[in-house]
Structure 1
């Protein structure tokens, strides 16, 4: 559950499931519970991930999974993702039952149709809720109330009631407890206000740079609101944030339905000017913005990448902080705006971060899927009477001693233009006769299709598949692994044919 109505609380779900189990003669062996977690994707669903993992590795000590209803399995935005996780259980011989639904999950055409509709409705509920929440938050911003996040250095969050009367000052980590209460920003302690004004005076009046200001603050022993030393980036953020002149600005960036974070253009920002008591007068703030704009240079894409290359050569690695600490140069936000993300900019200069947070869960899921796919291929070949050997170190499959095949899972990657690409790398060391490229769907949640790519047709070490590739490549595209099994059968028939020919 996340923040649904009380009828969907985990306690109520548990009671309904236990009553269902008693009516149907089940004994509950284990409970998996994701309290306070969104069902939009698998990222935060640690209990569901643990359940799926136990099912896949064969350690599950149960025969049936009882779920309150279809929406509690997940409100996945791609209904196929929900079906995929259920199919994993079904493939392992473990059934999934929905206790509060009016249909039996028995695989009949009616139940399949109803379940598909329910899955779509569950996803649509989240989309509709997202629109309503956004509209509500927008309205509160336009009324001058603060929405989420810490106040920042020099400011504090003040709690007011529905009539606008002051109730209390919220410290870091505290939240309002009454729905009708609201939060506004007020000036913080005098010493922090003096520091804010010193930053603007030094920058506008004395011509000091952000790095010089940070050095002077650290020299005086002044720390940030988090008790940390000052940096160029922190000083720069204070110089460009409109909250210090009392403006309430929201929706500069957004991340809806657990999707990718995007930076919105100014025309999509939601704002209420002069919502709070200002710390800095507007003329001084505008003067700071003018200085920052004047020193900005319009970089070409290649110039931006050259700056990154220089920073990489200097530091040996890259991060948003390193980019923002550059005295005269583009900020990390400039790279996000131009290339869509910092990761994309890093890719263009050949730098790979130690941790790519966007892909960690995807890569983990693909690694978990891979052994199952190998076993599916082996069993499929054996079921048609073929002989197959698996190299336990490389997973290379040798079929009927006639040809070799290698399976590779290919992740979908979104381009800057919004289309998708699947990058296939051919193993030059193994040199399989056939590379089975298994493409994931755009959400990387389920298999999209299979490309059986013969080595003699592939001239380069890499291949980028698009959504539509033309007859030259799509001739090798299939909806299942059946063609691989047919190749194994043909190979076996050819071998038998040769033997009969020699007897003749």
Structure 2
């Protein structure tokens, strides 16, 4: 009896996406909610497209959604509907027409898009169209405001002298400090802070590394040597295991370890 009921169900694909938001948007929670919706509405999920840890601001990096759209447009699919938890999981595009365009591509190919956690039916009625577009605007606005808040907080932390990610320069070490700037200990390679209230600041590294950094600057500024000649000279002195090779890429300085 169960096998027969499954055969009679409408084949559907599910699209799930999780970024770094609240736990209720975890992939497992989305799958559970979609499964309940499918059971109640007569769908059978036959394929899953997933984007884990991806922002909904654009299509870039969302290989799951790209593959879904490709399968729908080219007809390389075996389902008649796409089940998504809500409008924001489909995307938080700043241009609401972008989200509408992707949904239109599916509908034009004969594949319906169903939002399992929304209080409206995606049936093309005037009410559902208005509510859906409002949800799209709200989703985009949420991401825009969140981006501004995160950017503002990062800039403030940087002004206070706290590390905001990125590579550790040669001759520098990371010092873990409390929220009151009380020093805790120097972090080793690969170590991370354990408390969210702690901060990381840069401090001078070992004196041997500082001597090498000063020497590199003297060779470059006073002796007008190029970065490649500096690297070769230091390499010949058999200290390449401890030295970075400085190179120029555009207008940014970057380094990498010298070859043995």
TM class by smaller structure: 0.7 to 0.9
**Cα distance, 1:170 vs. partner?**
4.3
The aligned residue for residue 201 of structure 2 is: 184
Does 1:130 find its partner at 2:151?
Answer: no
> How many angstroms apart in 2 are the aligned matches of 1:152 and 1:224?
15
The 8 Å contact of residues 89 and 96 in structure 1, kept in 2 or not, is answered as yes
Q: Which has the higher strand share?
A: 2
Whole-angstrom CA distance in 1 between matches of 2:106 and 2:136: 17
Q: What is the TM-score normalised by the length of structure 2?
A: 0.82
Give the TM-score, by structure 1 length. 0.44
Equivalent residues of 2:173, 2:186 under 8 A apart: no
Query: Are residue 67 (structure 1) and residue 67 (structure 2) matched?
Result: no
Mapped to 1, the partners of 2:186 and 2:28 lie a distance apart of: 33
TM-aligned CA deviation for residue 201 of structure 1: 2.6
Equivalence for 2:53: 36
Change (3 A) 1:215 1:168: closer
The answer to whether the 8 A contact 2:59-2:65 is kept is yes
Larger Rg over CA atoms: 1
| CA distance in structure 2 between the partners assigned to 1:199 and 1:74 by the alignment | 49
Q: Which ranges of structure 1 fall in alignment gaps of 5 or more residues?
A: 234-320, 322-331, 335-504
Question: Could you give the per-residue CA deviations for residues 415-456 of structure 1, whole angstroms, max 9, x where no partner exists?
Answer: xxxxxxxxxxxxxxxxxxxxxxxxxxxxxxxxxxxxxxxxxx
Given that residues 161 and 180 in structure 1 are in contact (C-alpha distance below 8 angstroms), is that contact kept between their aligned partners in structure 2? yes
Instruction: Tell me, yes or no, if the aligned pair for 2:175 and 2:183 is still in contact at 8 Å.
Output: no
User: What is residue 94 of structure 2 aligned with on the other side?
Assistant: 77
Aligned to 1:139: 156
1:169 alignment partner in structure 2:
187
Aligned to 1:333: 251
CA distance in 2, matches of 1:140, 1:219: 41
Deviations 1:97-128 (A, max 9, x none): 11111111001111111111111111111110
Say whether residues 1:104 and 2:121 are aligned partners.
Answer: yes
Pairwise CA distance, 1:68 = 0.7
CA distance in 1, matches of 2:41, 2:51: 25
Which residue does 1:430 correspond to in 2?
A: none
CA–CA distance in 1 between the matches of 2:214 and 2:138?
53
**Are the equivalent residues in 2 in contact too, given 1:162–1:180 (CA < 8 A)?**
yes
Q: Provide structure 2 residue ranges, at least 5 long, that are not aligned to the other structure.
A: 1-17, 253-260
Cα shift at 1:206: 4.1
- Select the residue among 179, 200, 203 that pairs with 2:220: 203
Residue aligning to 2:107: 90
Cα root mean square deviation, aligned: 2.2
Count of residues in Structure 1 that have an aligned counterpart in Structure 2: 234
CA gap of 1:222–1:120, structure 2 versus 1, over 3 A, is farther
SS in 2 for 1:27: strand
